[in-house]
Amino acid sequence: MAEQRTSMAGQRTRRRTVAGALGAVALTAGAITTGLTLPTASAATWPTPSGTPQAVTKSISVSGTLDGGMKRYYGSGDLGSGGQDEGQDPLFDLKDGATLKNVILGAPAADGVHCAGSCTLQNVWWEDVGEDAATFRGTGKTYNVIGGGARKASDKVFQFNGGGTLTISGFAVQDFGKLVRSCGNCSSQYKRTINVSNTEVTAPGKAIGGINTNYGDSLTLRGITIVGDSGKKIVPCQKYIGNNTGKEPTENGSGPDGTYCKYSASDISYK
């Protein structure tokens, strides 16, 4: 297991003013660790890594809490291909109930973070998403993403393979395929509940969430800000008919319906 570190960033609360038209206050490690009310993360401002970057040649197993102190971790050796191949190992492998916080994942990032069961990702930043930023597994578990951000995800940021509830709050995402996808063709399928709030989404991007209506999934959106998408091409909620055979799932419409896609026009603003 990697050595657990005391967060230098957690010893102080720093506020950053975002340049340009966003006018939002970025999340800081200090705000996370002190439990303050968190503003929406800003895709325009990214944290500066502290200390010496750490190469990861074998997945770091995490039980309990690992506080990275805002250090940058990146893949090397078997984790250093930087490709999009399925089935890669993660940089961090979280056991059921584990917390990973104040960490920056640089490039290459392999398959990011795996959660074997319930987990919390707190103020975790992906500078260049590899295969996926994080994958959530287990049955009937609770997964929380609090603060942080991800960019340069050619496909998915968060892959939801397990069953239970995933809550994403105060997050920033830019240049991505989908922010979160309920697995469309896993061999074991579950009902999945996804909540996304106080999150800033910056184009280009395809969809905030993708869910399977035939398994009873739902996606709730609150306080979403979409930046740089004047044509409104980013789909807030894309519905699919999922399967457990490995075939590509088929689309099943999009837009609010009160059952699967739970949001209204007032829950999404454009800048």
**Cβ–Cβ < 8 Å for 136, 159:** yes
**Cβ–Cβ < 8 Å for 177, 153:** yes
Look up residue 17 and give its DSSP letter: B
Around 183, how many Cα atoms within 13 Å sit in the side-chain half-sphere? 23
Model confidence pLDDT, tens digit, residues 22-37 = 333 333 333 333 333 3
Rounded Cα distance, 57 and 54, in Å? 10
β-pairing, 235-241 with 250-254?
antiparallel
With a cut of 70, list the residues of the chain below it in pLDDT.
1-44, 82-86
The model's pTM: 0.85
> First and final CA of the chain: distance in angstroms?
43
Rounded Cα distance, 243 and 241, in Å? 7
Model confidence pLDDT, tens digit, residues 41-60 = 444 588 999 999 999 999 99
Rounded Cα distance, 135 and 138, in Å? 10
Residue pointed to by tokens 């609010």: 256
What is the structure's pLDDT at 83? Answer: 58
